[in-house]
Structure 1
Amino acid sequence: MFAYNLEMALRSLKRNRALTLLMVLAIALGIGSSMTTLTVLHVLSGDPIPESSTQLYYPQMDPRDMDGYTSTSKPPDQLSYPDGMALLKAARGTHQALMTGGAVPIQPPQSGIEPFIEDARYTTADFFPMFNVPFIFGHAWASPDDEAKARVVVITRELNDKIFNGKDSTGQSLRVNGHDLRIIGVIDNWRPNPHFYDLNMSTYSEKENVFVPLFTARDLKLERNGSSDCWGNNGNDGEHMETADCVWLQFWVQLDSPAKAADYKQFLIHYSQEQKALGRFQRPPNVALRNVMEWLDYNKVVPGDVRLQVWLALGFLVVCLVNTVGLMLAKFLRRASELGVRRALGASRRVIFTQLLVEAGLVGLVGGVAGLLLSLVGLWLVRLQPSDYASLAHLDLSMLLATFVLAVSATLVAGLLPAWRACQVVPALQLKSN
């Protein structure tokens, strides 16, 4: 029966090609604009580390003085050095890592390559197992290397390809800011987006290519490029951040169950109470503990203009569907005499209704193909924009399937009214008029 309905739909669509083309074009324009913006939203709001995002938490506490304090004040987005070290040494999670961002000059061993600057991450050993960072050569450093301020470095495949032509570079020296660091590992392709573990840098920035132990970086005075927030009279001179009244470090902890997360939050409250009793904290305990997706939602990482564009595109799709309804209604009613004859010959309303919906679905399918092509063009235009997320605008399999599902579903919904209206044709009147 479906094959028959499909054959009838094809014949009907070929009979009035201009009207068919207008319907396909309306669907294609609506689908193309909608899927372009929805794909960008999908990419920007996705889970950057789906295998463990519900187990990774970002603690916050408030060590600031009373200047500007209100009962609704939120804790800072970063930690001070003493607090970060306290949480790191407490080791309450399966893994925990203290970190900050930086930028370092690299002097390649080959004379033919000019020195260049690379983004860096200064962190502690648990960063790599906690975030499931893959390696192609070597391994990460261990906790004793943190404490010993070991002169070691982990680099990415991209940097390894640039300097060592993709060969195993473990054991080689990399000159960083005038210091020789021994390469112990090379990371495979790894670029979580958004850049969830440090939103103080660009949210969708390029990945860091150099990873150095945090305490080694401080010992060698490697340059930071992260943000900081200071209070009181100490200020931020860049070199004495360990003792300054400033928050400038990120801290992540892996807690494998909701019960452990609840216990950890109580630990943060007790720690804040202790620090207040010691006179170091002045404000009442003010802590927060959010997992990855909660942290991203709290920071509103998806740009507001992207959400606005989605709503505008969906509104445009509705306009296109309304036009499609009008075109289908005109097309189906022009066939009133044909439908009346078929009813008189015994075809039920259900059969006619089904056949007309198959025709509408076929329009949606063709419109979906055309809309997919328009989406690819739209995403290409997005990638030409200067936004830091532009390079991420690619259509994946899930959005490819969503394109056709949306196109066919929307067209079927749009075809309900015209199909129902066409089924109300009275056979006797059509036979009499003929």
Structure 2
Amino acid sequence: MFAYYFQLGLRSLRRNPILTALMVIAIGVGVAASMTAYSVFRVVSGNPIPEKASQLYAVQIDNYGPQHNKKGEPPDELDYTDALALQQTHKAIRETSLYPVLLSVIPANADLRPIRSSSYAMYADAFKMFDIPFLYGRGWSASDDQNRTPVVVIGRALNERLFHGVNSVGQQIDLNGQEYRITGVIDSWDPQPRFFDPISVGPFGNPIQLFIPMSRAVDQQLITAGNTDCPDENNGNGWDAFLHSDCVWLLHWVELPSTADARTYRQYLQDYAAEQQRVGRFEWPPNIWLRNVTQWLDHEHVVPPETSLSLYVSLGFLLICLVNTVGLLLAKFLRRAPEIGVRRALGASRRTIYAQFLLEGAAIGLAGGVLGLLLTGVGVWSIGLVFDARVARLATVDLKLMASTLGVAILAAVLAALYPTWRAAKVQPAWQLKTN
């Protein structure tokens, strides 16, 4: 019976091509607008590391004092004194400080220009903490951190450019005039949003291609390429003065597998800040925060407000399209009251009428979904005209989005057909036979 009702629905659609086209266009345009907005929203609001989102925590310690804080919140980053102290005590199963650095690959051929790539300085624990996959080799060791060894891990794209994709582990590359030995090549890794550092270069930056030990970066006096905030204007001159100042420029992450571990580490931070107050470094009570990945992203407001607004507006537009579709279906179905009356008189039940007309609505939704797919493709391609290019590049049309577009279109059409179908099923057969 399903095939029979579907065939009846298609015949009915062909009898009123203009009305059918209006409904298909309304659903297609409404669904395309909402799915285009959703394609952006899903990538900026997704969980970038779902397997460990509840185990990785960003550390905040108030080294500014209440007079410099915003609504009682400590700075999002740490100064070098606190970051180094946490790294040396190493109370977590894994932990790392990190910051973006300015590194250029100097080609052996002097005629070629230096290659500037997104680069970070961090500790060896970061590779396992952040589940960074390797194509060749591995990360450096803890002893490399301690010895400030000139080692580097490079990204897959940079490996393709420099070594044509072959295993380059053990090769030497020139970074800012210094030779570094490659210990590993990471596979494609580009978590979006960039949860571990949404502050310095934004949550939607380009994939990172160079990683070096933070101890080496500090030893080479590589200044941060990201954010630096200082509570006082006078912080002395020179690199050593900067390291010992209260300027915050480092993010610190810890891996704590259980709730009990997080509770213990939070108490350690509380005790550490209390000790800094006791020795006179802090003149205020301890003010520390420990946020997991989800809480951290919410705290940093990484979802651009325009993406949420565009999603709400597009959903409102889809609702308007559905209201119009309801009106068109109501007019279409009620015009077929004589047909319904005859079918009811011949023994068709109301359930049969419901099945036939809802399938007809589903057929309209399917046609609208196909149109919506085409318009969604155009919408995703032109997202860069509305959103920031770094956000627009993340939106893609994949199988999941295509299936969602078709599903939403069919569901929307069936919902729009509910009230017209209910009205059509209430037609009285005797009255229709008498008057027609």
TM range (shorter): over 0.9
**Distance in 1 of aligned mates of 2:92 and 2:182:** 28
Match of 1:116 in 2: 115
| Pairwise CA distance, 1:303 | 0.6
- Per the alignment, residue 227 of structure 1 pairs with 227
Contact 1:63 1:283 in 2 (8 A): no
Deviation at 1:29, TM superposition (A): 0.5
- Give the Cα–Cα distance (whole angstroms) in 1 for the partners of residues 295 and 66 of structure 2: 28
Instruction: Give unpaired runs (5+ residues) of structure 2.
Output: none
- 1:236 deviation in Å? 7.3
1:263 Cα deviation after fit: 1.5
Residue 407 of structure 1 corresponds to 409
Tell me the amino acid that sits aligned with residue 8 of structure 1. Answer: L
Equivalent position amino acid for 1:411 in 2: A
Which secondary structure does the structure 1 equivalent of 2:393 belong to?
Answer: helix
Q: Distance in 1 between matches of 2:405 and 2:236?
A: 51
Alignment pair present for 1:55 and 2:60: no
Q: Relative to structure 1, is the Cα distance of residues 6 and 104 closer, same or farther in structure 2, using a 3 angstrom cutoff?
A: same
Q: Residue 364 of structure 1 aligns with which residue?
A: 365
Matching of residue 395 in structure 1 with residue 394 in structure 2: no
Q: Matches of 1:182 and 1:237 in 2, distance apart?
A: 32
Partner of 2:83: 84
Post-superposition Cα deviations, 1:56-89, rounded to whole Å, max 9, x if no partner, equal 111111011453458x410100011111112112
- Of 178-187 and 83-92, the range deviating more from structure 2: 83-92
> Do the aligned partners of residues 22 and 194 (structure 1) sit closer, same or farther apart at CA in structure 2, a change above 3 Å counting?
same
Give the distance between the partners of 1:227 and 1:372, measured in 2 at CA. 41
* Structure 1 pair 42–233 and aligned structure 2 pair: CA distance change class (3 A): closer
Q: How many angstroms does 1:119 deviate by?
A: 2.0
Q: SS in structure 2 opposite 1:25?
A: helix
Structure 2 Cα separation of the partners of residues 191 and 68 of structure 1:
34
* 2-structure distance, mates of 1:102, 1:304: 29
Amino acid at match of 1:197: F
Matched with 2:276 is: 275
Measure, in 1, the Cα distance between the counterparts of 2:146 and 2:234.
Answer: 27
The one-letter code matched in structure 2 to 1:433 is T
In the alignment, the residues of structure 2 paired with residue 58 and residue 345 of structure 1 have an alpha-carbon distance, to the nearest angstrom, of: 71
AA aligned opposite 2:118 = D
Structure 2 contact 68–231 (Cα < 8 Å) conserved: no
CA shift, 1:348, in A, is: 1.1
Amino acid at match of 2:112: I
Secondary structure of the structure 2 residue equivalent to 1:253: strand
* Residues 1:335 and 2:363 are matched in the alignment: no
CA distance in 2, matches of 1:235, 1:355: 78
Separation (CA, whole Å) in 1 of partners of 2:43 and 2:13: 37
Q: Which runs of 5+ in 1 are unaligned?
A: none
Conserved? CA contact 1:84–1:251, under 8 Å:
yes
Deviation, 1:252, is 0.7
Q: What residue number does 1:151 align with?
A: 150
Distance in 1 separating the partners of 2:130 and 2:178? 28
Letter of the structure 1 residue corresponding to residue 282 of structure 2: F
C-alpha separation in 2, matches of 1:322 and 1:108: 62
Q: Work out whether residues 122 and 214 of structure 1, in 8 Å CA contact, stay in contact via their aligned partners in 2.
A: yes
Q: Name which of structure 1's ranges 142-151 and 198-207 shifts more when overlaid on structure 2.
A: 198-207
From the superposition, tell whether residues 12 and 69 of structure 1 become closer, same or farther in structure 2 (CA, over 3 Å): closer
Percent identical among aligned pairs is: 45
Query: Kindly tell me: are residues 161 and 97 of structure 1, through their superposed partners in 2, closer, same or farther at Cα, counting changes over 3 Å?
Result: same
CA distance in 1, matches of 2:400, 2:320: 25
User: Tell me, what secondary structure is at the counterpart of 2:104?
Assistant: strand
- Partners of 1:400 and 1:86 in 2: CA distance: 50
Could you tell me how far apart the structure 2 residues matched to 1:114 and 1:248 are? 30
CA distance, structure 1, for counterparts of residue 136 and residue 82 of structure 2: 34
Q: Report the alpha carbon displacement of residue 182 of structure 1 after superposing the two structures with TM.
A: 1.0
Counterpart CA distance in 2 for 1:365 and 1:92 is: 57
Q: How many residues align?
A: 433
Partner of 2:18: 18
Q: In 1, distance between residues paired with 2:371 and 2:358?
A: 20
The answer to whether the Cα contact below 8 Å between 1:383 and 1:393 also exists between their aligned partners in 2 is no
Letter in 2 for 1:199: P
Post-superposition Cα deviations, 1:402-425, rounded to whole Å, max 9, x if no partner, equal 222211111111111100011111
260 and 397 in structure 1: CA distance in 2 versus 1, 3 angstrom threshold: farther
2:348 maps to which residue?
A: 347
Helix, strand or coil at the partner of 1:392: coil
Residue matched to 2:138: 139
- Code of the residue aligned with 1:67 in structure 2: it is Q
Assess, with a 3 A threshold, how the Cα gap between structure 1 residues 69 and 57 changes in structure 2: closer, same or farther: closer
The alignment partner of 1:57 has SS state of strand
Shift of residue 111, structure 1, vs aligned partner:
4.1
String of CA shifts for 1:192-220, please: whole Å, max 9, x gaps. 11111111212101022111101111112
Residues 307-343 of structure 1 deviation map (CA, whole Å, 9 limit, x = unaligned) = 1101110000000000000010011011111111111
CA contact (8 A) 2:98 2:121 kept: yes
- The TM-score with structure 2 as length reference comes to 0.96
CA distance in 1, matches of 2:283, 2:398: 50
In 2, Cα distance between equivalents of 1:184 and 1:103:
20
Q: Structure 1 residues 371 and 52, CA, compared in 2 at 3 Å: closer, same or farther?
A: same
Distance in structure 2 (CA, Å) of the matches to 1:66 and 1:353 = 66
Q: Which amino acid aligns with 2:95?
A: Q
Per-residue CA deviation, residues 214-245 of structure 1 (Å, 9 max, x unaligned), is: 11111122242111111235437572332111
CA distance in 1, matches of 2:229, 2:215: 20
Say which SS state the counterpart of residue 118 (structure 1) adopts.
strand
Report the Cα distance in structure 2 between the residues aligned to 1:267 and 1:371, rounded to whole angstroms.
55
Aligned to 2:214: 214
More moved, 247-256 vs 383-392:
383-392
**Alignment partner, residue 33 of structure 1:** 33
Letter of the structure 2 residue corresponding to residue 375 of structure 1: T
Distance 2:237 2:205 in 1: 26
Report the alpha carbon displacement of residue 398 of structure 1 after superposing the two structures with TM: 3.0
TM-score, normalised by the number of residues in structure 1 = 0.96
